[in-house]
Amino acid sequence: MQVFNYFRDRAHIIIRVQHNMGMMGDPRYQGMSLTVMYVVNAGRRPITVTSVGAYRLFPHNPFVVTDTRPRCPCELTEGKQQTIIIDQEGLDLSIMESWEAYTSTGKTYRLAVVPWYSRRWNRRKFRRKAIAEGKEKKAALSVEE
Examine the pLDDT at 5 and tell me if it is beyond 90: no
pLDDT in tens, 44-89: 889 999 999 999 999 898 999 988 889 888 899 888 999 999 988 8
Whole-model pTM: value is: 0.81
Strands annotated E in 9-115 = 13-21, 34-41, 47-56, 63-65, 68-69, 74-76, 81-87, 96-103, 108-112
Rounded mean pLDDT, 117-141: 83
Q: What is the pLDDT of residue 138?
A: 66
Instruction: Name the least confident of 81-85, 112-116, 118-122, 140-144.
Output: 140-144
